[in-house]
Structure 1
């Protein structure tokens, strides 16, 4: 991305992210990443990836706006 920004894409699945502790860790990590002001973060689910028509268009739209 331009201006030295990074795009991070995260995949959330029920197994690794299904407990309250995991949810809290994920949110704390997300806040720390985005607080740098240099990173854009997009989150998707495993279902989004399996559909095949969610992730790529969302990433493309984000990059087009960047």
Structure 2
């Protein structure tokens, strides 16, 4: 497995179509199971950085797409 750089800057939020923060778009549930220790660490990271868990998920997903070379 290829190693990712230690620090990747988050890309700017997309404008217009496809924007994950579009206030016009309805929010829906996204459900998956994680270990108790992961959940605790994830929640603590959100608190430590004054972010919501949703913000961390969005940023992580954008960074993942950038690392994989996806533009959408």
TM range (shorter): 0.3 to 0.5
TM-score, scaled to structure 2: 0.31
Which one has the bigger strand percentage?
A: 1
Which one has the bigger helix percentage?
A: 1
**Whose radius of gyration is greater, 1 or 2?**
2
